[in-house]
Amino acid sequence: MQDRKIRILQILVVPVAAVLVAAMFGTRARAAGKAGYTVEELSPSMSYEEYEKRYKEYYGDATARMAEEGNPADFLLDDGRDLANKVEGSKGKSCASCHGRDAMKLKGAATHFPRYDAAIKGIMTFPMQINACRVQAMGAKPLKYESYDQLALTLYIKSLSNGMPIQVSIDGPARPFYEEGRRAYYKRQGQLNFSCAICHIQYAGYKARSNLISNNKHHTDHWPSYRLKWGKTGSLQRRFRGCLKNMRAKVPPYQDEELRNIEFYLTYSNNGDLIQVPGMRM
């Protein structure tokens, strides 16, 4: 598995180096962030339609067949609903005590996450909000990120927003965190000096041996997702960490500031995409 990843990266180094040279001489847009640094915006080398065509050519009916067999992550939904109705903690409450039976009043809540939160002076992700309610409103223990219960509850509450468009706001005090996220997305890092943007914007649709690099539209609308490679359901941040590992870069812990800012930037750029959880990926 490690060997395969290294080969993927080696194959990418040549085209990516060519892009870097092209970027030095070609036209480029400069956007100044609030914090005073500049980000060199990249543009996709093919349209989203062309990318989708390549995706279908590349994976054929493999993903359709996977979908037919059903999504193993669906099994988490029932457990998530049970957790939403379960009384826990020192205050004798469940999510349902405040958010209605089966927490149905939280329909639509996931559309505006992540959001800026004044109390933490930073970005509040959906899993963090759920834990904040457990701790503050229920007097219960926070759920460990990426644990079965944490994923099940997050997945269930998020599924209440299925079919609704992502509507993240970057207005006011949220803006600098969006800029930070964008900067992190464009930051070259790791032993191979890649950035997320080089792959997911500029090189989206290109093949890297056994992987097709995905266009970042729709990157945030389907998490938590089941991944065949993990044999497990996982979060968007788990996926970020996987890519960072492939880049041979530092991998921050779950809900670390950098991962939250990237999630904020990326989710905002997916505004309008319809939430559909759980997703399923190779």
Catalytic residues: 243
Determine, following the binding rule CB under 6 A, whether residue 137 of this chain makes contact with ligand HEC. Answer: yes
Please tell me the distance from the alpha carbon of residue 95 to that of residue 134, in angstroms, as a whole number.
8
Instruction: Supply the angle between the helices 74-85 and 148-159 in degrees, to the nearest 10.
Output: 90
138-142 long-range contacts (CB < 8 A, ≥24 apart) are 138/88, 138/89, 138/90, 138/91, 138/93, 138/94, 138/95, 139/89, 139/90, 139/91, 139/93, 140/88, 140/89, 140/90, 141/89
Which of 130, 160, 174, 275 is close enough to bind ligand HEC by CB under 6 A?
A: 130
Determine, following the binding rule CB under 6 A, whether residue 19 of this chain makes contact with ligand HEC. Answer: no
Determine, following the binding rule CB under 6 A, whether residue 95 of this chain makes contact with ligand HEC. Answer: yes
Determine, following the binding rule CB under 6 A, whether residue 81 of this chain makes contact with ligand HEC. Answer: no
- Listed in order, strand segments (DSSP E) in the chain are 29-32, 38-41, 115-117, 122-124, 207-208, 211-212, 225-227, 232-234, 279-281
Using CB under 6 A, which of the segments 29-37, 49-57, 94-102, 169-177 binds ligand HEC?
94-102
Determine, following the binding rule CB under 6 A, whether residue 106 of this chain makes contact with ligand HEC. Answer: yes
Using CB under 6 A, which of the segments 29-37, 68-76, 95-103, 175-183 binds ligand HEC?
95-103
Which of 214, 255, 271, 276 is close enough to bind ligand HEC by CB under 6 A?
A: 214
Which parts of this chain interact with ligand HEC (CB under 6 A)? 9, 12, 93, 95, 97-99, 103, 106, 109, 129-130, 133-134, 137-138, 153, 157, 194, 196, 199-200, 208, 211, 213-214, 219, 236, 239-240, 243-244, 247, 262, 281-282
